Structure 1
Amino acid sequence: MRLLLESHYSVNIVGTSTDITEAMSKVIDAEPDILFIDIEMPTMSGLQFCSMIHNEVRPDMKVVFYTAHNKYLIDAIRRQAFDFLLKPATEQELSKIMARYYENKLASMNAVTQRDTGTPPIILVVNAINEHQPLTLNDIGYFRYNQERKLWEVVCCDGQTQILRRRSTADIILNYSPSLVQIHKRFIVNIERIKKIQESRCILDAPLSHINELKISKNYRHSLMQAFYNL
């Protein structure tokens, strides 16, 4: 587990332990962002361990349980575990957890930043080859559902297209910002980039003014027009 984590996104390991008392002390002192803990340990379970330190650690510390048996999954969920790993842990499964962690952390940071400064949120693109790229609303022209790959992608103002991770949905994208409006089951546009609405089509401003695929569905026209006139 340590070797996997150390090679993953430059994670800083603040401590490891196989002794319960030492582990409690290390977790309380180090205040880690994420605690990876085995459920089955010699003197107590990982679930009991987390109950004992609950009032001594930061409330936003994430806990990832790992075990050879999925029978503990329900208990882990009830203890509000951030995630769950089955042994032997693989790089692929750990990658999913870390990507989810960074997305969760970014969403929390965005909420604070928007509340305190009004700054536009950062949208984290996690693409098909597991690269992470932060985008702001100013970088984005529109989102498009790729029917062949069955996933969403973002078309940037510089003309590049980035593939979003497979679990990205229209609802997740729309929650990034009120400026993102769905115009069709396949298209979500950055309304701040719309130059004009021409019959049943959105025309974006430069450098995406040549794009002619942004058709407006009847089901979404009313909400689009309402958002457009509220600009």
Structure 2
Amino acid sequence: MKLNIAICDDENRILTHTSSLIDIYQFQHLDTNLSVDCYTSGESLLENYTQPRQYHILLLDIEMPGMNGIETARQIRNTIDRNAIIVFISSYPEYMQESFSVHPYFFLQKPATQKNMNQLLDEIIDEITNSTHMYTLIDMEDIQHTIYLNDVLYIHTYNARKELLSFHLPNKELHTKGHLGEWEMKLQNYHYISCYRGYLVNLTHIHYVTKDQLILDNNEAIPLSRTNRKRIHQLFLDQVVTIE
């Protein structure tokens, strides 16, 4: 599993210390791939945080010059990513009550210890694994990507002879090797439907249906075969989705 972590603290020594704790955890858990970015202000974190689920875990200091950690978390919750796991790391426990307004996952006393960091990451990773349907994809450049099944718009076989698949998400497209039929079997209980040869579409991202197309949330049109038309129309009726 690959998880992206952002650490935000105005003290470089704390950034180095916290990052090293995560590196040690990574060394002890080789089946987990943790990527860490460090920021020295809330403003710089917000400037670089451009899309939901860019970061799975945020480790935020509270007392920082300019925008403090609680306000940074509030901005992220309200405008960028309401589902990010937020952990405050602070030497000021009096801020704990105020921090509840942005629904943090945990409040870690500064400086964090290896024992506390290991316990925290164990709990978070266990919760993420058990509460969301995630897959790790390895793309054509052997880079790992953790994807959430709910985020995928559709999967497309763009080269059947070479067994090449493209996973289409709202803000990116990932390419990997595989058989669409195998993915159809894996995802049969997750609202994915075959609508046309070489296409597997996430039912929850279909905005409406026409005679020969599925129109997705992002206005992309996916072909719909005549043989699948009646079945998919019925699925939409069952899902209480407006059919056009």
TM-score category by the smaller chain?
0.3 to 0.5
Larger proportion of strand: 2
What TM-score does the superposition give when structure 1 sets the normalisation length? 0.45
What TM-score does the superposition give when structure 2 sets the normalisation length? 0.42
